[in-house]
Amino acid sequence: MTRLLLTVAALCLLAANALAAGSYTVSVTQIVEHPALDAMRQGVADRLRDRGAEVVFNVHIAQGNMGTNIQIVNQIKGEKPDLVLAIATPGAQAAAQKIQDIPILFTGVTDPVSAGLVKDLQNSGGGNVTGMSDFSPMDQHVALILEIAPSAKTIGVIYNAGEPNSVVLVDKLTEEAAKAGLVVQGATIANSSGVFQAVRSLVGRADVIYIPTDNTAVSALESAVKVCTQTRLPLIAADVDSVDRGAIAAVAVDYYKMGLQTGDMAYRILVEGVAPGDMPVEFLEDLNLHVNTKAAAAMGVTLPEATITRAAKVVE
């Protein structure tokens, strides 16, 4: 009888939590589809579901097109959602510029201050925008590059100069590389179809290729993998999902976990009624090293045993 009463009480508590959470609509703007961004979106959905919030997601993907990115924001305004979830910098910027009367929650934004989304990381300016940053630990990335390619002198980096977050990252990479005596050689792209040729242009001019958390470059990572495999040129990435797709290694946040934490922020806004302007920008401090031994062998690299041993995940 006691067990039955406890079970009934537990069910009542779950029902009460679901009722308190309520039903909401979240409109999502995402600049491209690739595993890291998709993982963040899934993490948000899973966390809200697990916390008892009934949420309908209207998902919009711009497929890397900036014009479509603007059109999506205009469509979202007409949807009148309870929350706008902006995944990556371009969508967040477009949403923040055009929407002031709906809470906006960004995630996967490298530098929200320079992107004009918040006044500072404490979000002291108030307003309707807050979120999570995934700023890459560039000093650790340079250290990883030297660990895997110790004789490297020049880092070739592929990025879209039209993405403000990518420019910030390349500047930081250049700064950290200089401290280690390395030179950075950039190759810019305008869209994902330019990745193959951009990598080809660095063959013979770079000792290792680095792909930052640039949405355009990551969406066409397989093109970079193809060139690097053909030319035996090591490829290092800035997001761990790219390691599954053929990069040799990456040390970065787990984007699904970032999505879960972003989901907690969404819950506070939707259910608890916290204003975005009262919420500072958050970070995910837990970094993971992933390595791909098969990719390393294909690109002529023998991974140090110590690197493999400390990796959270080894793709073979």
Tell me the pLDDT tens digit for each residue of 92-127: 999 999 999 999 999 999 999 999 999 999 999 889
Given this model, what pLDDT does residue 4 score? Answer: 34
- Among 6-15, 133-142, 175-184, 288-297, which is the least confidently predicted range? 6-15
Does the pLDDT of residue 13 top 60, yes or no?
no
CA 211 → CA 135, 161, 275, 281, distances in Å? 14, 13, 36, 25
Residue-wise burial string across 21-32, b where 16 or more C-beta atoms lie within 10 A, e elsewhere: beebebbbbbbb
Secondary structure letter of residue 183 according to DSSP: E
Q: Are 41 and 28 in contact (CB under 8 A)?
A: yes
Q: How close are the terminal C-alpha atoms of the chain, in Å?
A: 53
Fold agreement (21-134+254-286, 138-252+288-315): yes
| Model confidence, pTM | 0.81
Given this model, what pLDDT does residue 21 score? Answer: 58
Given this model, what pLDDT does residue 269 score? Answer: 98
Q: Where are the domains of the chain?
A: 21-134+254-286, 138-252+288-315
Does the pLDDT of residue 185 top 60, yes or no?
yes
Strand partners for 314: 291
Determine what percent of the chain is predicted with pLDDT higher than 90.
87
Quick one: how far is CA 121 from the chain centroid?
18
Per-residue confidence band for 286, with pLDDT thresholds at 50, 70 and 90: confident
Q: Are 128 and 101 in contact (CB under 8 A)?
A: yes
Determine what percent of the chain is predicted with pLDDT higher than 70.
93
Does the pLDDT of residue 174 top 60, yes or no?
yes
Half-sphere exposure of 157 (CA within 13 A, CB side): 27
Residues 194-252: tens digit of each pLDDT: 999 999 999 999 999 999 999 999 999 999 999 999 999 999 999 999 999 999 999 99
Give the residue from 245, 138, 255 showing the smallest Cα distance to 195: 245
Does the pLDDT of residue 268 top 80, yes or no?
yes
* Cα(92)–Cα(79) distance, integer angstroms: 17
Given this model, what pLDDT does residue 132 score? Answer: 98
Per-residue confidence band for 14, with pLDDT thresholds at 50, 70 and 90: very low
More confident residue, 96 or 136: 96
* Cα(313)–Cα(291) distance, integer angstroms: 6
Residue with tokens 């800035």: 238
CATH class of residue range 21-134+254-286? alpha beta
More confident residue, 21 or 201: 201
Given this model, what pLDDT does residue 81 score? Answer: 98
| 138-252+288-315 CATH fold | Rossmann fold (3.40.50)
CA 150 → CA 30, 146, 179, 227, 305, distances in Å? 37, 4, 15, 21, 14
* Cα(255)–Cα(258) distance, integer angstroms: 5
Q: In what order do the strands lie in the sheet with 208-211?
A: 183-188, 154-159, 208-211, 235-237, 249-253, 287-292, 313-315
- Among 6-15, 46-55, 56-65, 197-206, which is the least confidently predicted range? 6-15
